Amino acid sequence: DGGITQSPKYLFRKEGQNVTLSCEQNLNHDAMYWYRQDPGQGLRLIYYSQIVNDFQKGDIAEGYSVSREKKESFPLTVTSAQKNPTAFYLCASKAGRDGQPQHFGDGTRLSIL
Amino acid sequence: SQKIEQNSEALNIQEGKTATLTCNYTNYSPAYLQWYRQDPGRGPVFLLLIRENEKEKRKERLKVTFDTTLKQSLFHITASQPADSATYLCALADSNYQLIWGAGTKLIIKP
């Protein structure tokens, strides 16, 4: 079945550590997105990519980095510069045309040790 | 600033009744609006899209309306069932067609 796979489901970060969240899709979608979800707030866009080897900052990119070396993969690194990383992270993909729905993975919950 | 508001309090509905959820926005002229369902610990799942030139959209027991004058969308679930219990998110497309998300409304359908 086609879909988006995020791993791990749960992740713990130590002080000063970088951690990488995995996102893989087999939907052949061009666009991919990373969101952060905090209680009582809407999803906030961290980074997005419309095409391989290109990505753009979203509203809250500080302390995060991404790469898009393959169409299927869009990993997110939460760096030590992100001082409040505890959140639920969601990856999504979308077919190229505007108005198409976004397809989401089941998220990674990141906590601080 | 641009803002999207959904009822922050949970909505409790008796099974079989119609549930109505509200999404209000300010400082936008969105090209379209989408509704998603999110279950605990899962990613959102797309339900319906309605464009700015459409008044109403239906899909099975779901109905969405879009009033660009009131800057409001209503999401209805008719003949509600306990399995409809979830958090429902609305999202609007900004001028760059990026989605701006509401915080969601938790719907609880009581048997």
Nearest-by-CA chain A residue for B4: A42
Coil, strand, or helix at residue B84? helix
State the residue for tokens 């998110």. Answer: B89
pLDDT, tens digit, 9 for 90 and up, residues A73-86: 999 999 998 989 99
- B15 min Cα distance to partner chain A (Å): 26
Phi, psi of A17 (to 5 degrees): -105, 145
Nearest to B43 among A41, A48, A106 (CB): A106
- Nearest residue in B to A38, CA atom: B103
What is the rounded distance in angstroms from the CA atom of residue A90 to the CA atom of residue A88? Answer: 7
Q: Does B43 touch chain A (CB under 8 A)?
A: yes
Q: What is the mean pLDDT of residues B38-62?
A: 96
pLDDT digits (tens, 9 = 90+) for A5-54: 999 999 998 888 999 999 999 999 999 999 999 998 999 999 999 999 99
What's the pLDDT score for residue B2? 66
Peptide bond into A8 cis (omega under 30): yes
Query: Can you tell me the distance from the alpha carbon of A99 to that of A45, in angstroms, rounded to the nearest whole number?
Result: 17
- Other C-beta atoms closer than 10 Å to the C-beta of B106 total 18
Confidence of residue B27 (pLDDT cuts 50, 70, 90): confident
Best of A23, A48, A102, A111 to disrupt the B interface (most B CBs within 10 Å) is A102
Kindly state the average pLDDT of the residues B73-80.
98
Tell me what percent of the residues of chain B surpass a pLDDT of 90: 83
